[in-house]
Amino acid sequence: MSDRVISQAAFARLRELRAFDPESIRHAVATRTRRHLDSGDGRLFIVAADHPARGALAVGSDATAMADRYELIERLAIALSRPGVDGVLGTPDIVDDLAALGLLDGKIVVGSMNRGGLRGSSFEMDDRYGAYDVPSMISANLDFAKALVRINLDDPATAATLEATSRAVTAAAGAGIPIMLEPFMSSWRDGRIVNDLSTDAVVLSVAIAAGLGGSSAYTWMKLPVVPDMERVMAATTLPTLLLGGDSGDDPDETFASWQDALSLPGVRGLTVGRTLLYPPDGDTAAAVDIAAGLVHSSLLTKEQS
């Protein structure tokens, strides 16, 4: 990337803070300028960057695209600087870097919670909560929580994951922190976990995930865009952010599918990571601007409250 947003001096300062003044990083996260979820037009565009902590570094055919942390932070800085980007979803390492660099003021920060089911591992379905928990999000003044809920009916580890997710939902509701659940019906195929993106499977995953925890008052859904999204959105009254997913062969087709789904009742916005941070043409700003326009366009119908 030729035009840098973050200077080498800023990165050097970040390294110094991490080594010799770690409390300043905690302070930067906790004291950043916050914003309300319902400010603006009430729709949310969140850039996701919690993939590396699950061991998922690939983008398309590039197996190590997200391995360079400096490039990832640079791309996040570009995204967060664009109009219409409301916030970021990340693990503590990502959030701490961004806060220390002064990039999170006025942004919604979503804490990623369960990163234990590492990509490609034999224990991938044992998706333990190894990143943020509710107490740490309260301490850091985070705005939102996120949990991945992969449901594999043939793998006993799913039971423990569902139980842990239920506890997280209950704790988040007790603390008044919104929590978005990203459910999938999943299965082992040729030694790896594959998510079922059929409409029926997504509807089933929503039905299961929505009932987790002692209260659904603060629960949101984070759902993939699949065929017949009308049926998916008819399966829940919970506010929903669309999941961007992996990069497709045709970006225009991807954007068109998002635009159609964004007009559905209950859809409140978009959460996308690799598709926009690492677009095929390398122009992060342009890809983010298109998505932001889809989320915040005045042409989209806003639900009556």
Per domain, the residue ranges of the chain are: 29-296
- Which pLDDT score, from 0 to 100, does residue 60 have? 85
- The answer to whether residue 2 scores a pLDDT higher than 80 is no
- pLDDT score for 249: 60
State phi, psi for 278 to the nearest 5 degrees. -130, 65
* pTM for the predicted model, two decimal places: 0.93
> Residue 297: what pLDDT?
83
Q: How many CB atoms lie within 10 A of CB 141?
A: 12
pLDDT tens-place string over residues 195-246: 999 999 999 999 999 999 999 999 999 999 999 999 999 999 999 999 986 6
pLDDT (mean) for 92-109: 97
Name the residue among 261, 176, 164, 156 with its Cα closest to residue 217: 176
Superfamily of domain 29-296: Aldolase class I (3.20.20.70)
pLDDT tens across 111-164, in order? 999 999 999 999 999 999 999 999 999 999 999 999 999 999 999 999 999 999
Angstrom CA distances, 99 to 29, 112, 294, 301, stand at 5, 16, 27, 34
Checking if the pLDDT of 6 tops 60, the result is yes
For residues 252-261, give the mean pLDDT: 90
Confidence of residue 248 (pLDDT cuts 50, 70, 90): low
The string of pLDDT tens digits covering residues 170-197 is 999 999 999 999 999 999 999 899 999 9
**CA distances to 30, 115, 157, 205, 239 from 162, in Å:** 30, 14, 9, 12, 20
Helix, strand, or coil here: 145? strand
Beta strands per DSSP E along 130-266: 144-151, 179-189, 192-195, 219-224, 240-243
φ and ψ at residue 78, rounded to 5 degrees: -60, -45
Rounded to whole angstroms, the Cα distance separating 246 from 258 reads 13
- Asked if pLDDT for residue 302 goes beyond 50, the answer is no
